[in-house]
């Protein structure tokens, strides 16, 4: 079973993607269309509103509605549901959405939540005056490791994972660079934090290989004091800042 936090995360990611891709509730013309419902989460595009049960003449078997409640209900997504279970089967959903309802309404349908074995389907009504509901902002759904937007069961793109500026390893697998255990790595990280990227690893720093600020003077005991070419560092060959 999926926990509520995971279900909420899936819904938020779906809402963000739906807004970015311009998705909207699906108008259904035949029962088979229910197998292509969009996943909108809590996002409602402008021009649509949530339907409530007073917008319907007829209701599915698995709800005991109040007229002012949102019109949503559970549908089996496992493929093993039956008509005597609490969730509608997909075929029951198809039958329900084809029932005659209020002729003045244009209805749309979408998924608002998804669990391991069921989904929650929401009905919508076209309303040109409706402003809709905005999706979550990117920051709230962005992966903390790769900084992209994806669901909890989608893997990060290895090319986008945060990497260590000193060794280039993915942060989660970097062994660390302490001042005692790895003085060189520690110095590179310190310089990186100060905006000096001469010795940063190219996989972990977009600015790696920039001009030399004399970082080698505190990475190594070998003080580089004499240069055949004073404009370039004898340690890394990079152009020096304030050459001597």
pLDDT at 194: 87
Inform me whether the pLDDT recorded for 8 exceeds 90.
Answer: yes
Which residues face 125 on adjacent strands? 49, 107
Exposed (0-12), middle (13-18) or buried (19+): which is 93, by Cβ within 10 Å?
buried
| Residue partners of 200: CB distance under 8 A and separation at least 6 | 165, 166, 188, 191, 192, 207, 208, 209
User: What's the whole-number average pLDDT of the chain?
Assistant: 84
Comparing 38 with 202, which gets the higher pLDDT? Answer: 38
Which tokens sit at 29?
């013309």
pLDDT of residue 155: 77
Contacts within 8 Å (CB) and 24+ apart, 48-52: 48/24, 48/108, 48/124, 48/125, 48/126, 48/127, 48/130, 48/132, 49/124, 49/125, 49/127, 49/130, 49/132, 50/122, 50/123, 50/124, 50/125, 51/105, 51/107, 51/122, 51/123, 51/124, 51/125
Lowest mean per-residue pLDDT among 16-20, 160-164, 197-201: 160-164
Backbone angles phi and psi of 116, in degrees to 5: -75, -35
Confidence of residue 100 (pLDDT cuts 50, 70, 90): very high
Among 10-14, 31-35, 154-158, the range scoring the smallest mean pLDDT is: 154-158
| pLDDT attached to residue 232 | 56
Query: For 81-96, how does the pLDDT look when each residue is reduced to its tens digit (9 = 90+)?
Result: 889 899 999 999 999 9
What per-residue confidence (pLDDT) applies to 95? 95
Of 42, 13, 19, the C-alpha closest to 150 is 13
Rounded CA-CA distance 97/113 in Å is 18
């Amino acid at each position: 079973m999926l926990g509520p936090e995971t279900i909420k995360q899936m819904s938020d990611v779906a809402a963000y993607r739906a807004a970015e891709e311009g998705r909207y509730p699906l108008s259904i013309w035949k029962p088979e269309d229910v197998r292509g419902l969009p996943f909108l989460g809590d996002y409602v595009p402008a021009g649509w509103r949530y339907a409530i049960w007073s917008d319907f003449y007829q209701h599915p078997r698995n709800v005991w509605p109040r007229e002012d409640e949102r019109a949503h209900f559970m549908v089996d997504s496992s493929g093993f549901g039956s008509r005597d279970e609490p969730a509608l089967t997909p075929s029951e959903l198809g039958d329900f959405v084809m029932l005659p309802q209020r002729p003045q309404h244009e209805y749309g349908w979408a998924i608002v939540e998804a669990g391991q074995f069921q989904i929650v389907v929401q009905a919508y009504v076209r309303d040109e005056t409706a402003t809709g509901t905005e999706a979550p902002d990117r920051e709230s759904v962005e992966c903390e490791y790769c900084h992209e937007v994806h669901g909890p069961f989608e893997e990060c793109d290895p090319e986008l994972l945060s990497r260590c500026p000193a060794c280039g390893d993915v942060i989660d697998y970097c062994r660390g660079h302490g001042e005692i255990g790895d003085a060189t790595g520690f110095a590179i990280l310190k310089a990186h934090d100060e905006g000096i990227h001469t010795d940063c690893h190219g996989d972990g720093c977009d600015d790696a290989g920039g001009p030399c600020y004399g970082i080698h003077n505190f990475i190594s005991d070998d003080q580089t004091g004499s240069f055949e070419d004073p404009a370039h560092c004898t340690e890394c060959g990079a152009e020096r800042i304030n050459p001597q």
